[in-house]
Amino acid sequence: MKQDLLGLKELSADQIIHILDTAASMKELVKSQNKKAPHLQGKTVVNLFYENSTRTRLSFELAAKYMSANAANITASGSSVAKGETLIDTAETINAMGTDILVMRHSMSGAPHLLAPLVSASVVNAGDGMNEHPTQALLDMLTIKEHKGHIEGLKVAIIGDVYHSRVVRSNIYGLTKLGAEVSVGGPSTLMPMGIDKLGVKVYNTVHEAIMDADIVMGLRIQMERQKKGLFPSTREYFRFFGIDEQRLRLAKPDALVMHPGPVNRGVELSTSVIDGDRSVITDQVTSGVAVRMAVMYMLSRGGF
Ligand code: CP
């Protein structure tokens, strides 16, 4: 039976570790001079993106090509969705062309969960509304594991627009399953009710959340999902919640700085922090290709 990757909520710690171990070896290939492996030869991967993306879409495409798959992209604006076709009809059409893996980003939480039982292709959630972005959290965990050697026992502070973030939800599921201590910080207007029930500490100041952290992860302020009045201005947001060098000193001296991208420079993180020697943001991008290779390869072999 085919398997999907819809979220980290559904995966066990052992399954997550298995994906990270596979991705670690894939990363060697990404960094090598010969980026061609036969793992997905004869398979077809289609990226169906209803929202903008740079790194997720391109990394799925490159991951598929590095493993010799046939890879194609389709966006809502360039498809028959623009003529009124439904999501389900579009997915069934793509499925009927011999698609083996359907990678999907959609603004509606639960969209990939809706399609997964209706198509024979394995569905990979590349971000659904405010719900989950599982491959982002997997690439974050791979990056942490490579730099710190382990995840268990680490203090991870995630700062920013927690309310709208699918990245934070997937990271909370994944990191807590692997034994990290997660705290979230941000304006109370951007903090969802009940987030503490996911096993995280909740703070409304950056300095409390960041204190003694091993990992400091900024979250993007999601302008496209904001209702008016959740914070006064981006300048004011940076003043109270932005991560600059002074605030970073509250974390451990060897703390890593992370961000899923795209970064709003001078809003979530200062430019000196983004480009500083503790930043692993560029390495996160490389891990992203490796994780997506691992996920698609494992799905093509029956799952995790
Ligand atoms: N982190 C992330 O999902 O980035 P994109 O929106 O560029 O894919």
Confidence band for 298, pLDDT divided at 50, 70 and 90: very high
**What pLDDT, on the 0 to 100 scale, is given for residue 226?**
62
80-102 average pLDDT score:
92
Q: Please report the atom of ligand 1 found closest to the CA of residue 52.
A: 6
CA distance to 30, 103, 132, 272, 289, per residue, from 112 (Å): 28, 9, 10, 38, 21
Identify which has the larger pLDDT, 76 or 60.
Answer: 60
Calculate how far, in angstroms, residue 37's C-alpha sits from the geometric centre of ligand 1: 25
DSSP states along 142-210: HHHHHHHS--TT-EEEEES-TTT-HHHHHHHHHHHHTT-EEEEES-GGGS-TTGGGGS-EEESSHHHHH
Could you tell me if the CB of 129 is within 6 A of ligand 1? Answer: no
Calculate how far, in angstroms, residue 127's C-alpha sits from the geometric centre of ligand 1: 9
**What pLDDT, on the 0 to 100 scale, is given for residue 84?**
84
DSSP state of 79: S
| Span of 5-9, 49-53, 76-80, 291-295 with lowest mean pLDDT | 76-80
pTM here is 0.96
Q: Is the pLDDT of residue 221 over 90?
A: no
Q: Which amino acid is residue 1, in one-letter code?
A: M
Calculate how far, in angstroms, residue 243's C-alpha sits from the geometric centre of ligand 1: 20
Could you tell me if the CB of 53 is within 6 A of ligand 1? Answer: yes
Q: Identify the sign of the CA torsion 291, 190, 6, 58.
A: negative
**Chain-centre distance for alpha carbon 304:** 18
Confidence band for 255, pLDDT divided at 50, 70 and 90: very high
CA distance to 34, 65, 80, 253, 296, per residue, from 150 (Å): 29, 30, 46, 17, 24
**What pLDDT, on the 0 to 100 scale, is given for residue 228?**
66
